[in-house]
Amino acid sequence: MWEAIESNRRRSWILIVLMGALLLALGAVLGRLIHPRQGLVLGVCIASGVWLVLWLVAAFQGDRFMLTMGGAMKIERRDSPQLWNVVEEMTIASGSAKMPDVYVIDDERPNAFAIGRNPEKQSAVAVTSGLLRLLDRDELQGVIGHEMGHLKNRDSAFLVLAGVMLGAIVLLADVFLRGMFFGRRRSRGGGDGQAVVLILAIVLAILAPILAQMLYFACSRRREFLADASSARFTRYPAGLASALEKISSRYEGGKQETNRVLAPMYIVNPMSALAAVGLFSTHPPTGKRVQILRGMGGGSAYADYEAAYGKAFGQGSALLGKRTLAADTAAPARAAAPKAEAKQDAVARSKDVVQLLGRLENFLLMTCTCGLGIKVPPELKRDSIPCPRCGAANPVPRAEAGGSYRRAHPADWESFRCACGATVLLGPGSTEPEASCRACGGSVRIEPSA
């Protein structure tokens, strides 16, 4: 239920077929150039071979690759209860059978993305630390709802398929053009026919990547609107996502961003501001338009409300959602905003939480000096005693051995000790578990409550 996929399915197939045709044509022409007779078939085979290999790699290793390239760290509920809860809420609201894994990326630029071939089996959402620092609960919910919409509408799976095709086209064209300009060409005297093929090949090699990119981006832009519509439907609070988009895009204005071009379509807001200015080549629609639609939903949050606001923003007659999706939908008035803590206080608390979260994820040793100052020790620092930066007192690093025991010093806070193997073991606030196991060596340590 609640997929907004139907209106996009036909478009996506057309796109895939067109891109496939481009790829094969490119392969055929290049092959013909190498060998006038058998080259045609050979070229087609090579082109599909390149595509197949790239697709297999992307489909089976892509998720892990994307996450590790982005430097994403997997979290558990206790690491960031609020983020975890929000993802859980959106899983319920979207009616998904399985909650996606949750990742955090240490990056001050606010952003989020979702990946996964089959959202019912294996999927993940990743958010940057900058996003957690910037957004309040309602806004975070809007962003996660948007990512959930991408998963539910199978956008990630599609983007992988289309992206790999784009990659194959770019690769073939690139190899050919480089060979043309830097390699020594043996002229085999094919006559006029060969000259025509050569010109055709050059034109195709230059045009194909541009065409493919335009197709790819046009489709992914449409999917952004659909994911926005899904987010409003799931959260029943379009203002949350609207406000999040405003906050995020104001962070990007002016600053030059360096982000991987392959990853760009996956993010919630396009990080490549230079590209975003060019209409046809941007993966994301202009944020202003998205906010305008979300804010113009007239107190509703159903797909029909989004469709009406979309029509208003782009002129009557422009349709986004399919008839069947709209017919199956029910009326859904937007809910009221959640009660908020004071904005500034809230921002300070969030900031502190994010710093602590990153410290924990990066295996910092967390200890508290007798003067009350919290000290974070980087995992590389293997000293046995840490001087307090405020009062100067030497604090011995708490240790425990596998099979031994550890007495908690600050049960209401995060604290950690060093295992005999050198790794850091972390204990959560208020945790009453009798044992903690070391992630590095697997040994378990008895935990005793504080005296």
Partner 1 sequence: MVPWIILGVVLFIGMIGVFWMIGSYNGLVKSRNETKNGWAQIDVQLKRRHDLIPNLIETVRGFATHERQTLENVIQARNQAMGAGNVGDRIKAEAALGGALGRLMVVCEQYPDLKANANFLALQEELTSTENKISFSRQFYNDCVMQYNTRIESFPSNVVAGMFQFKPGEHFQLASEAEREVPRVKF
Among positions 326-345, residues that touch partner 1 (CB under 8 A) are 328, 330, 332, 335, 338
Contact between 432 and partner 1 (CB under 8 A)?
Answer: no
Phi-psi region of 300 (alpha: psi -120 to 50; beta: other; left: phi over 0): beta
Question: Minimal distance in Å, beta carbon 5 to partner 1?
Answer: 17
Question: What length does the chain have?
Answer: 451
Question: Minimal distance in Å, beta carbon 386 to partner 1?
Answer: 24
Among positions 220-249, residues that touch partner 1 (CB under 8 A) are 234, 236
Amino acid letter, residue 248:
I
Contact between 82 and partner 1 (CB under 8 A)?
Answer: yes
Q: In 337-406, which residue ranges form alpha helices assigned H by DSSP?
A: 343-361
* Cβ count within 10 A of residue 188: 10
Residues 6+ apart with CB under 8 A from 182: none
- Secondary structure class of 323 (helix, strand, coil): helix
Catalytic residue selected from 3, 89, 139, 147: 147
Applying CB under 8 A, among 71, 193, 379, 429 the residue interacting with partner 1 is 429
Q: Are 49 and 23 in contact (CB under 8 A)?
A: no
- Secondary structure class of 270 (helix, strand, coil): coil
Contact between 81 and partner 1 (CB under 8 A)?
Answer: yes
Question: Minimal distance in Å, beta carbon 1 to partner 1?
Answer: 7
- Secondary structure class of 425 (helix, strand, coil): strand
Concerning whether 147 is annotated as a catalytic residue, the answer is yes
Applying CB under 8 A, among 85, 213, 273, 351 the residue interacting with partner 1 is 85
The residue range among 79-87, 249-257, 258-266, 313-321 that interacts with partner 1, by the rule CB under 8 A, is 79-87
Question: Minimal distance in Å, beta carbon 82 to partner 1?
Answer: 6
Torsion of CA 223, 229, 232, 238, to 10 degrees: 100
Alpha-carbon distance 78 to 388, whole Å? 28
Applying CB under 8 A, among 121, 412, 432, 449 the residue interacting with partner 1 is 412
Nearest to 239 by CA among 226, 228, 253: 228
Applying CB under 8 A, among 42, 198, 413, 421 the residue interacting with partner 1 is 413
Applying CB under 8 A, among 32, 109, 117, 137 the residue interacting with partner 1 is 137
Residues with active-site annotation: 147
Q: Return residues touching partner 1 (CB under 8 A).
A: 1-2, 81-82, 85-86, 88-89, 92-93, 95, 137, 234, 236, 328, 330, 332, 335, 338, 412-413, 429-430
